[in-house]
């Protein structure tokens, strides 16, 4: 676990970006991790098939909150069609199936060192995909 | 005689100095005698039970039935024929909810559980109630994490058919007065089913003295193998309940038009059972009782007292479940740090604890927390391990500053 809690995870979890529900959200989803009781609710504002704002509220661990925070910067400005790609690459970065994650997903590779916590990091991405699919 | 903890630790190859295993309530480590008997079962008693005329089959059958008698003695059951081998407490409770449900539940009836049940003693009753049109009720908790018995009279009534309650809570440590609860259930004509999973490993249990109707536990939590557990129920209930699963072992005669069933307990044991598991469980019970309950209790109490005293010094720790008597575990939250992050950092300090809702979501909802950290102790736990936990918790606070 060396390094897990001395870099971006701690920073983002202490001052998460976009950690609030969005007024006027066009899409929302809630996801639970039954393993640990983490819960995240993610809101999106989508205009012209593009995500213009992301907000989330989490009752969750530092890893989940930090990944949610990271996600908001990755998803804002993204075309709806590109979300599946982002979610898949994020998952691959976390579980190690992508040997070299792309630079913007590099931080997620840290989670590989704690296999029991991978779901904590993928939960926000599940919520992102869910928000677009749940409708 | 005090417990010789060094000797105990040497008997457990999974226990190593420097690594504090404080998750015995999730699953206990296994002592050598259990591992040896598992090997014996697969090497020597390596035939199928109750079939085949050869030596290995006879040996397996004999060992399996000896394990049944051992479990009966462990629980104070009147007869080995009232012990059903199952995969674990979860399967035992599903069996009871399904088969007692079929026997007893009618539309409009009620089942009473408690807000501290493990999901294994809650979800099967939800399913049974849905199947039979019955209603599930739950006895709430007090602020200390005890059952709120002042509500018992309201909730237990002449529509109640079953009271399903845990003997000891795996997330709060609370020990329930099941004898009193069983008497209250019987007074309204209900049956009392007890989940003994967390209780049997910390002290002697006598189902006859408790006056309950069914009692279950898992082997892996009493220093035995996983995949084996036991269910005791009153003989007349086992006779009256319909079978749970169909297949080999559980039948008397089979014709295409229909079948008759084997006598209890075999009626509830369809298919090839976990013979090695039962043999290993037998060895685990011998080992545990061989240590002496007095010694086990005194030792575990000393460890948990030390943990409570140490944690009590840390103002940023909040404990859930503070009643007495308790089983030796402490459940708590750390100010400003999620339980899972605590557990991951502790793991890095060589301390294994459980974090989460411990399969008792309603109990944690009662305390309005999503997850707690739980340190649980067993016969091999030491005061030094508690100190290692406390040092690890200080580290957690440093990291999260
Ligand atoms: C109180 C209690 N009941 C039931 C169970 C379920 O046991 P198993 O998973 O071995 O079937 C557990 C295990 O976590 C428990 O602690």
Q: Which of B253, B288, B323 is the last residue of a domain?
A: B288
Q: Quick: pLDDT tens for B303-319.
A: 999 999 999 999 999 99
B29 in a domain, yes or no? no
Mutate to test the pocket of ligand 1, among B118, B172, B360 (most ligand atoms within 8 A of CB): B118
pLDDT (0 to 100) of residue A99: 73
What's the total number of domains in chain B?
2
Residues B45, B126, single domain; the answer is yes
B197 CB under 6 A from ligand 1?
Answer: yes
Q: Which of B259, B288, B317 is the last residue of a domain?
A: B288
pLDDT (0 to 100) of residue A2: 53
Residues B249, B338, single domain; the answer is no
Average pLDDT of A17-37?
A: 91
Confidence of residue A24 (pLDDT cuts 50, 70, 90): very high
Q: Which structural domain range is residue B302 located in? A: 5-22+292-400
A4 touches chain B (CB under 8 A): yes
Q: Write out chain A residues lying below 8 Å of B364, CB-based.
A: 37
pLDDT (0 to 100) of residue A1: 45
Residues B387, B265, single domain; the answer is no
Ligand 1 atom index nearest CA of B88? 11
Strand ranges across the sheet with B317-319:
B317-319, B329-334, B372-376, B354-356
Catalytic residues of B: 359
Distances (CA, A) of B28 to B200, B201, B226, B378: 13, 10, 10, 8
A54 touches chain B (CB under 8 A): no
Residue extents of the structural domains in chain A: 2-133
CB-closest option in B345, B356, B364 to A5: B345
Residue B219 makes CB contacts below 8 A (sequence gap 6+) with: B88, B225, B226, B227, B228, B229, B230, B277, B280, B281, B284
Task: Decide if domain A2-133 falls under CATH 3.20.20.80.
Answer: no
Residue B233 has which token pair?
A: 């129920």
What pTM was computed for the model?
Answer: 0.91
Average pLDDT of A79-89?
A: 95
| Å from CA of B143 to ligand 1 middle | 24
Distances (CA, A) of B395 to A113, B212, B334, B346: 19, 46, 12, 8
Q: How many other C-beta atoms are found inside a 10 Å radius of the C-beta of residue A84?
A: 13
B→A contacts (Cβ < 8 Å), by residue, are 337-341, 344-345, 347-348, 355-357, 361, 364, 370-371, 399-400
CA angle B33, B375, B23 (to 5 degrees): 35
A45 touches chain B (CB under 8 A): no
Residues B175, B315, single domain; the answer is no
Q: What is the CATH number of the domain that holds B205?
A: 3.40.640.10
Residue B320 has which token pair?
A: 């859930």
**Predicted ipTM > 0.85:** no
Q: How many other C-beta atoms are found inside a 10 Å radius of the C-beta of residue B16?
A: 11
- Strand partners of residue B139: B114
| Å from CA of A80 to ligand 1 middle | 44
Kindly report the average pLDDT of chain B as a whole number: 96
Q: Write out chain A residues lying below 8 Å of B333, CB-based.
A: none
């Amino acid at each position: 676990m060396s390094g897990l809690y001395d870099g971006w995870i701690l920073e983002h979890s202490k001052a998460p970006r976009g950690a609030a529900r969005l007024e006027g959200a066009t899409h929302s989803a809630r996801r639970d991790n039954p393993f640990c009781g983490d819960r995240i609710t993610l809101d999106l504002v989508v205009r012209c098939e593009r995500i213009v704002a992301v907000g989330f509220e989490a009752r969750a661990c530092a890893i989940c909150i930090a990944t949610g925070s990271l996600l908001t910067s990755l998803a804002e400005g993204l075309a709806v069609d590109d979300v599946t790609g982002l979610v898949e690459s994020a998952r691959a970065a976390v579980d190690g199936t992508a040997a070299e994650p792309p630079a913007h997903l590099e931080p997620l590779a840290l989670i590989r060192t704690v296999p029991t916590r991978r779901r904590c990091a993928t939960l926000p991405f599940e919520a992102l995909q869910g928000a677009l699919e749940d409708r | 005689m005090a417990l010789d903890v060094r000797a105990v630790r040497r008997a457990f190859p999974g226990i190593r100095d420097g690594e504090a295993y404080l998750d015995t309530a999730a699953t206990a480590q296994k002592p050598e005698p259990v591992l040896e008997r598992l090997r014996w079962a697969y090497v020597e008693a390596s035939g199928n039970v109750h079939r085949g005329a050869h030596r290995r089959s006879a040996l397996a059958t004999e060992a399996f039935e000896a394990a049944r008698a051992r479990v009966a003695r462990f629980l104070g059951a009147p007869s080995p024929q009232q012990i059903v081998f199952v995969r674990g407490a979860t399967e035992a409770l599903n069996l009871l909810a399904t088969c007692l449900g079929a026997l007893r539940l009618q539309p409009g009836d009620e089942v009473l559980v408690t807000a501290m049940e493990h999901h294994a003693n809650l979800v099967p009753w939800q399913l049974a109630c849905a199947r039979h049109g019955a209603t599930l009720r739950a006895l709430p908790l007090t602020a200390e994490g005890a059952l709120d018995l002042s509500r018992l009279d309201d909730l237990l009534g002449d529509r109640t058919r079953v009271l399903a309650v845990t003997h000891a809570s795996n997330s709060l440590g609370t020990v329930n007065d099941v004898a009193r609860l069983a008497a209250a259930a019987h007074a309204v004509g209900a049956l009392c089913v007890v989940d003994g999973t967390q209780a049997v490993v910390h002290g002697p249990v006598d189902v006859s003295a408790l006056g309950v109707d069914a009692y279950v536990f898992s082997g892996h939590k009493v220093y035995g193998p996983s995949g084996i557990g036991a269910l005791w129920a009153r003989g007349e209930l086992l006779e009256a309940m319909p079978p749970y699963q169909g297949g080999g072992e559980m039948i008397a005669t089979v014709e295409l038009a229909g079948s008759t069933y084997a006598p209890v307990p075999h009626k509830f044991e369809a298919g090839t059972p976990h013979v090695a598991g039962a043999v290993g469980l037998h060895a685990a019970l011998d080992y545990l009782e061989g240590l002496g309950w007095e010694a086990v209790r005194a030792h575990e109490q000393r460890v948990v007292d030390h943990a409570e005293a140490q944690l009590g010094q840390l103002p940023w720790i909040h404990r859930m479940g503070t009643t007495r008597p308790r089983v030796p575990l402490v459940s708590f939250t750390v100010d400003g740090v999620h339980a899972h992050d605590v557990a991951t950092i502790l793991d890095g300090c060589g301390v294994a604890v459980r974090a989460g809702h411990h399969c008792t979501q309603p109990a944690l909802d009662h305390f309005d927390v999503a997850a707690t950290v739980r340190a649980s102790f067993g016969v091999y736990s030491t005061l030094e391990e508690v100190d290692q936990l406390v040092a690890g918790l200080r580290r957690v606070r440093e990291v999260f500053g």
